[in-house]
A and B are shown apart, each in its own frame.
Chain A
Amino acid sequence: MITTRILPSALLDVRSPQRLLERNAMVYRRSWMVIFSGFFEPLFYLLSIRIGLSALVGDIEVGGKLIPYDEFVAPGLMAAAAMNGAVLESTMNVFHKWRQAKLYDSILATPMSAGDIAIGEIGFAVIRGLMYSTAFIFTMLALGMVKSAWIVMSVVACALIGFAFASIGMAWTTYMRSWADFEYVPAVTLPLFLFSATFYPLSSYGSWSWVVQLSPLYHGVVLVRASNLGEWSPSLVVHAGVLVGLSVVGMAVTASRIKTLLLK
């Protein structure tokens, strides 16, 4: 089979990844305020942009249509929220569970597999990112920034963003040796946040726009923006494909790293 040749065996042996979601839900049940407090972030962001920047910047052209600046930025922020939630969970929190708490060692002694852990933890990081993205949708609704009922599709787009970043984030974390290595995480996510056509359209980058297209977040932003406007084009499949591809690579690397590092 082709799949067995491309994907490592560790990723093909997945049966109960949802147990990790269950375990993490047990933990967060007691500290739900941590997550809840994140819900105010979108409100503050969107309000400040609406009040200040929108008036200064004026309207922005997207696909031949003029839209107010705050409605342009909101999907970008929503996409970034999906990224940040997923990265936070899949890097720092995973590192703690892996290295300090030895959680995965104890789970691997049960019928759970390396693939179960990889998919379960990545899935949980996606869900965490999605909670913040969903908070954005409701805030946008409340502020009248939602352009189309297709906004529900932005949840799918944010899930793809979450999967891509959680998978790459967790794969990267398996290579980290100490907390000091986490300095590099914001060094990557901050530029992505700023330069993924989040705050201004791709055309503003002129002849440098190809660099922007290297950013995984850019592809997510395009998808979320399209969802909000309800404007679909075939090229979106390519953007989604980039995110799916990164997810598969990240998951495969994560699963086989767990196998080689913990099952030795």
Chain B
Amino acid sequence: MPPPLITARSLVKRFGDLVAVDGIDVDVQPGEAFGFLGPNGAGKTSTMRMIGCVSPVSSGRLEIFGLDPAHEGRAIRSRIGVVPQLDQLDQELTVMENLVIYARYFDIPRAVAQSRAVELLDFVQLADRADDKVDPLSGGQKRRVSIARSLISEPELLLLDEPTTGLDPQARHLLWDRLHQLKERGATLVLTTHYMDEAEQLCDRLVVMDGGRIVAEGSPRALITEYATREVLEMRFGRGRNEERVDDVLGVGERVEVLPDRLLVYVADGESALAELHARSVIPESALVRRSSLEDVFLRLTGRTLVD
């Protein structure tokens, strides 16, 4: 196996007394799409900023391309592309100028910057907006400009902090599609998300973060196999009455989770579990069977839902 692009050992980030990242171990291999999945405040952005060499490591070891961010930050930053959690596009410049000046920060010659910018705007389907200022663009379009901008230096590693948070479904799918294309071209992606479907869509491997720690690691499939069943039976008995029905449903599945508005029964075959409950005259107001997802993994690991 080639040496990892990113190696973190007992990596810690502190802000005063607050421990934002609490001793994580991570290896990211070249060509991999790696995800940090976790709720708000889990420490995802803090981790990404340390990897991006814009935030000093509090303790532990971090290497990117085998280099130390404390001493070789400039060299590391010249080889990575960053899409920050909040778009930081240059409001005073046009879309095209944004890309060109960003390339100049990497010492890329102007002519090269121009031609790459044209290609990249084509890639993110914004060629027609090249000469517009950034401000009138929609959230999804700004995000795509940010991605195009992060690619202008042809980075070996791309860091995406919550690439689709706040976007409508259509804009998200367009973005996922572009990121898939990058993956197919062999790019190494590191992304954070609190969307399960996004992690399942994009990540080859991920870590689940909670409270600054890594609580699980693996491929989306492996995590679901390990921490959930194949299917989930979701039942609603009406607000406030879900809790008292737990005893009635115990035994039909491997595990039951109680949420304020519903009961989740983890079971390999949801339909037959539901049939069995009907036979026992346990009739919910509504029921549905779905495949289990990383959301269920997170619930299992932390006892909490990801997005509330």
Identify the stretch in B52-60, B171-179, B250-258 within 8 Å (CB) of chain A at 4 or more residues: B52-60
Name the residue on A nearest B133 (C-beta): A30
Judge whether A22 is part of the interface by a CB distance below 8 angstroms: yes
Chain B positions 91-106 with a Cβ under 8 Å from a chain A Cβ: 91-93, 97, 101-102, 104-106
**With A19-B104, A26-B97, A103-B90 given, is the CB distance from A113 to B54 under 8 Å?**
no
Binds B, one of A104-112, A135-143, A247-255: A104-112
For A264, the closest partner residue in chain B by CB is: B55
Contact check: which of B74, B86, B88 meets A111 at CB < 8 Å?
B74
Whether B84 lies near A106 (C-beta < 8 A) is yes
Contact of A13 among B15, B56, B74, B93 (CB under 8 A): B74
Verify A19–B93 contact, CB threshold 8 A: no
In A241-264, the 8 Å CB interface with B consists of 262-264
- Which residues of A20-37 are within 8 A (CB) of B? 22-23, 26-27
**Nearest opposing residue in chain B for A18, CB measure:** B104
Answer yes or no: A101 CB below 8 A from chain B CBs.
Answer: yes
A105 engages B102 (CB within 8 Å): no
- Residue of A23, A106, A263 near B89 (CB, 8 A) is A106
Total chain B interface residues with beta-carbon distance under 8 A: 26
CB–CB B101/A111 < 8 A = no
Partner of A22, one of B75, B82, B101: B101
State whether A101 and B91 are in contact (beta carbons under 8 Å apart), knowing that A109-B77, A111-B74, A263-B55 are contacts in the complex.
yes
Chain A, interface size category, equals 20 to 34
Closest B residue, CB atoms, query A107: B105
The answer to whether A105 and B105 have CB atoms under 8 Å apart is no
Nearest chain B CB to A75 CB, angstrom units: 35
**What is the distance, in angstroms, from B43's C-beta to the closest C-beta of chain A?**
15
Report the bound CA distance from A113 to B75 in whole Å. Answer: 11
Contact (Cβ within 8 A) B77 A22: no
Question: Measured between alpha carbons, how far is A264 from B15 in the docked complex, in Å?
Answer: 8
Say yes or no: B84 contacts A109, CB within 8 Å.
Answer: yes
The answer to the question of A213 belonging to the interface, with a C-beta cut-off of 8 Å to chain B, is no
How many Å from the CB of B45 to the closest CB on chain A?
Answer: 12
A106: which of B75, B88, B92, B104 is its contact (CB, 8 Å)? B88
Q: Is the CB of B55 within 8 A of A111?
A: no
State whether the Cβ of B78 lies closer than 8 Å to any Cβ in chain A.
Answer: yes
Does any Cβ of B come within 8 Å of A102's Cβ?
yes
Least CB distance from B47 to A in Å reads 15
Known contacts: A26-B97, A27-B93, A111-B106. The answer to whether A105 contacts B74 by CB under 8 A is no
Q: Which residues of B contact A111 (CB under 8 A)?
A: 74-75, 77-78, 105-107
- Interface residue? A16 (CB, 8 A): yes
Chain B residues positioned under 8 Å from A263 (CB to CB): 54-56
Q: Given contacts A19-B105, A26-B93, A27-B93, are A109 and B82 in contact (CB under 8 A)?
A: yes
Q: In whole angstroms, how far apart are the Cα atoms of A108 and B53 in the complex?
A: 9
- Chain B contacts of A110 at CB under 8 A? 77-78, 102, 105-106, 153
* Contact residues of B between 52 and 85, Cβ < 8 Å to A: 52, 54-56, 74-75, 77-78, 82, 84
| Residues of chain A in range 63-114 having any CB-CB distance to chain B below 8 Å | 101-103, 105-113
Contact with B along A105-132 (1 / 0, CB 8 A): 1111111110000000000000000000
Q: List 7 A-B contacts (CB under 8 A).
A: A16-B107, A102-B86, A105-B88, A109-B52, A110-B153, A111-B75, A263-B55
Residues of B within 8 A of A (CB): 15, 52, 54-56, 74-75, 77-78, 82, 84, 86, 88-93, 97, 101-102, 104-107, 153
- Sort A-B residue pairs by CB-CB distance and give the 7 closest, nearest first: A106-B88, A110-B105, A111-B78, A109-B82, A27-B92, A102-B88, A111-B74
Excluding A105-B54, A106-B84, A109-B77, 4 further A-B contacts by CB distance (< 8 Å) are A23-B104, A102-B86, A109-B84, A113-B74
